[in-house]
């Protein structure tokens, strides 16, 4: 088998949507699985759509995700440059070669003429209102004009594009690794522009020439390119590169949570989940969109989740580290159907990674957050605290919300619990608890629990009826991690203080 060389080829028109990251990921996994190369190529031939900062964002995002290219923009390589605007001079000869061979032609139509053609075709209810083997006969191009006239116009500096001369009624076959054989009749297809009047190639020509020159073996890209694939197959043939035509795999869409249509940034904004791997600040509008990283996701969890959006290994295992993904991945197991995005599932993945982390590692992460609030916090029990908190949330950045009471005594008590549970009996029970806690020597969660229960029973109060009150006295909150462990971590003196303070305050 030919050396596997795949490329991720985004256009720097904005941040990378998670759908784009998944395309990059599948390329990466495929390359690594086959000991091949994963390239990053920037496709910026449409200079009008460039967005400042987008290229840098793409590079940073791939690095954060742990899927860096081993060749391409930012790393270099044998086939540099990897940015199409820097390769501008390469493409035109190929377009001209196609004209010379009779597979392409010059077209001089103004945008107004093209618009008029479209309007007329739509009015006539033509099924495919496009520049094609029928309509080109009525337009201003080197097929309708004499060769002297064509030459005259070009030499006179008239603007022109180069269009592919789509043949009539030919069957074009695309062998897709995911979808199998797709057959299209060429009469359905339009005469795509290959080279623009601004001196730049279009995507169709540029990516194909680059894939050829960069020895790309497999083109793995989004499903939206499937309709163009027959045109590309034809171009390989016309350029005499049939033998080295790459294999194709068109990836299914990532769908909205309800399954209706392609997932977009708007869905994320509407439903409250990130669409991009890293936070992005739009340079034009100044609008900021939070990324998965900043939302608190671990890159491994994000990647594991994305890998499963459209692929699965055919077993019940869901947690895969990068090496396991590489080993298990196969293009044939990528689904043809779109995959519904589920943010709850994404959070579940993060939780699995959170729980798998050692308390010690979590303590380091949490310490950064704590220090932003209380620089001189006492953290000798941070490991234990993290051990408790990780069972209750999916993100380290939520530890503070649910566990700040470990560092700051509660300022407020859950009103509902107080209303329901605070009465003469509970006061009696808490006073008894206070007394027995004071004489308790071994301060550990088992002893605390037993002592608490005996103290309540001594004054004929059921321990179950005051337990939640005790929790609220210690934490302010009606729910949270294991109560007796919280008490153990807080320490005897602090627990006694908190009970006393609460009794005085209520």
- Residue ranges in contact with ligand GLU by CB under 6 A: 9-11, 43, 203, 207, 219, 221, 225
Q: Among residues 40 and 418, whose Cβ is nearest to ligand GLU?
A: 40
Cα separation of 198 and 205, whole Å?
A: 14
For 76-137, give the DSSP string: B-TT---BGGGGHHHHHHHHHHHHHTTSEEEE---HHHHHHHHHHHHHTT-SS-SSSTTGGG
Adjacent-strand bridge partners of 326: none
CA dihedral 353, 354, 358, 362 (to 10 degrees): 140
> Which one is catalytic: 33, 88, 92, 265?
265
**Count of beta carbons in the 10 Å neighbourhood of residue 409:** 15
- The DSSP output letter for 3 is P
CB of 11 to ligand GLU, least distance (A): 4
From the CB of 172, what's the least distance to ligand GLU, in Å?
A: 17
The verdict on whether 165 is a catalytic residue reads no
Residue number with CB closer to ligand GLU (203 or 276) = 203
DSSP state of 408: S
Q: Token pair for residue 393? A: 């949330």
Minimal distance, residue 13 CB to ligand GLU, in Å = 8
- The span from the CA of 239 to the CA of 230, in Å, is 14
Smallest separation (angstroms) from ligand GLU to the CB of 209: 12
Looking at the Cβ atoms of 22 and 221, the one nearer to ligand GLU is 221
Residue nearer to ligand GLU on the CB measure, 204 or 498: 204
What is the nearest approach in angstroms of ligand GLU to the Cβ of residue 349?
26
**Given the structure tokens 């390469």, which residue do they identify?**
90
Tallying the residues shown for the chain, one arrives at 506
Q: Is 413 helix (H, G, I), strand (E, B) or coil?
A: coil
The nearer residue to ligand GLU, 229 or 502, going by C-beta atoms, is 229
| DSSP-derived 3-state class of residue 477 | coil
Task: Kindly report the backbone phi and psi dihedral angles of residue 340, in degrees, each rounded to the nearest multiple of 5, phi listed first.
Answer: -75, 130
Distances (CA, A) of 102 to 98, 142, 143, 170, 207: 6, 11, 10, 16, 21
The helix or strand, by DSSP H or E, that contains position 283, with its residue range, turns out to be none
Minimum Å gap between C-beta 10 and ligand GLU is 5
The pairing of strands 104-107 and 161-164 is antiparallel
Residue placing its CB nearer to ligand GLU in the complex, 44 or 449? 44
Find the residue with minimal CB distance to ligand GLU.
Answer: 221
| Secondary structure class of 214 (helix, strand, coil) | coil
Q: Which pair of tokens denotes residue 301? A: 């969890």
Compare residues 222 and 313 and give the one whose CB is closer to ligand GLU.
222
- Which sequence positions are flagged as catalytic? 265
């Amino acid at each position: 088998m030919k050396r596997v060389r795949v490329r991720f080829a985004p256009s720097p028109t904005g941040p990378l949507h998670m759908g784009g990251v998944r395309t990059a990921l599948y390329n990466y996994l495929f390359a690594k699985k086959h000991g091949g190369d994963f390239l990053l190529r920037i496709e910026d031939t449409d200079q009008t759509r460039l967005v400042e900062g987008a290229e840098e964002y793409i590079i940073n995002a791939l690095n954060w995700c742990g899927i860096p290219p081993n060749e391409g923009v930012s790393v270099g390589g044998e086939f540099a440059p990897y940015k199409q605007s820097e390769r501008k001079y390469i493409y035109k000869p190929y377009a001209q070669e196609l004209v010379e061979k009779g597979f392409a032609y010059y077209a001089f139509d103004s945008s107004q003429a093209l618009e008029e053609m479209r309007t007329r075709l739509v009015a006539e209810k033509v099924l495919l209102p496009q520049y094609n083997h029928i309509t080109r006969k009525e337009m201003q191009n080197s097929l309708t004009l004499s060769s002297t006239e064509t030459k005259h116009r070009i030499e006179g500096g008239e603007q022109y594009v180069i269009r592919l001369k789509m043949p009539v009624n030919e069957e074009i076959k695309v062998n897709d690794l995911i979808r199998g054989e797709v057959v299209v009749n060429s009469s359905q297809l339009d005469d795509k522009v290959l080279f623009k009047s601004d001196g730049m190639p279009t995507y169709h020509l540029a990516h194909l020439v680059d894939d050829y020159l960069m020895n790309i073996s497999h083109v793995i890209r989004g499903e939206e390119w499937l309709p163009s694939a027959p045109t590309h197959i034809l171009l390989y043939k016309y350029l005499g590169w049939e033998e080295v035509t790459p294999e194709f795999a068109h990836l299914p869409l990532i769908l909205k949570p309800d399954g209706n249509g392609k997932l977009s940034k708007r869905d994320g904004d509407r439903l409250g989940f990130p669409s991009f791997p890293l936070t992005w600040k739009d340079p034009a509008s100044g609008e900021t969109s939070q990324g998965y990283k900043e939302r608190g996701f671990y890159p491994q969890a994000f990647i594991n989740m994305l890998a499963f959006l459209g692929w699965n290994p055919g077993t019940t295992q869901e947690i895969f580290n990068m090496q396991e993904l590489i080993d298990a991945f196969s293009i044939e197991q990528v689904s043809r159907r779109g995959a519904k995005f589920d943010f709850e599932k994404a959070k579940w993945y993060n939780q699995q990674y959170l729980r798998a982390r050692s308390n010690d590692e979590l303590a380091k992460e949490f310490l950064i957050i704590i220090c932003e609030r209380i620089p001189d916090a006492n953290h000798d029990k941070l490991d234990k605290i993290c051990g408790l908190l990780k069972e209750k949330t999916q993100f380290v950045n939520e530890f503070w919300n649910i566990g700040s009471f470990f560092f700051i005594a509660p300022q407020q008590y859950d009103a509902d619990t107080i209303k329901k549970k605070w009465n003469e009996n509970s006061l009696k029970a808490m006073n008894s608890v206070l007394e027995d806690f004071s004489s308790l020597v071994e301060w550990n969660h088992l002893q605390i629990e037993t002592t608490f229960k005996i103290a309540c029973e001594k004054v004929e109060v059921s321990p179950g009826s005051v337990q939640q009150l005790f929790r609220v006295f210690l934490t302010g909150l009606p729910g949270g991690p294991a109560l007796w462990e919280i008490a153990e971590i807080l320490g005897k003196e602090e627990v006694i203080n908190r009970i006393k303070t609460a009794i005085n305050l209520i």
